[in-house]
Amino acid sequence: MELMADTAAKGFEEKAFFEYHLYTLGRPTTIPDRSTKQIELFEQATEIPVKKRFLFDGTQQYMYYGGGRQESEQFGIGGDTKVQVFLQFDNKEDEGLGMPLPSGRIRVSQLDEGDGSFEFIGEDTIDHTPRNEEVTIKLGNAFDVVGERRQVSFERGRNWMTETIEVKIRNQKEDRVEVHIQEHLYRWSNAKITEISHDHKMLDARTMHIPVDVGSEDEAVVTYTVHYSW
**190 falls within a domain:** yes
Residue 217 sits in a domain of what CATH number?
A: 2.60.40
pLDDT at 40: 74
- pTM of the complete model beyond 0.85: no
**CB burial of residue 214 (10 Å; 0-12, 13-18, 19+):** buried
Distance CA(64)–CA(57), nearest Å, equals 14
Instruction: Answer yes or no: is 31 within a domain.
Output: no
What is the pLDDT confidence band of residue 219, given thresholds at 50, 70 and 90?
very high
pLDDT of residue 16: 77
Q: Residue 183: pLDDT above 60?
A: yes
Q: Is the residue at 210 inside a domain?
A: yes
Domain range holding 160?
51-94+134-229
In a domain, 185, yes or no: yes
What span, in angstroms and rounded, lies between the C-alpha atoms of 127 and 142? Answer: 24
Widest CA span in the chain: 85
* Total number of domains constituting the chain: 1
Report if residue 80 sits inside a domain: yes
Tell me the helices (H) and strands (E) count for the chain, helix number first.
1, 13
How confident is the model at residue 2, as a pLDDT? Answer: 54
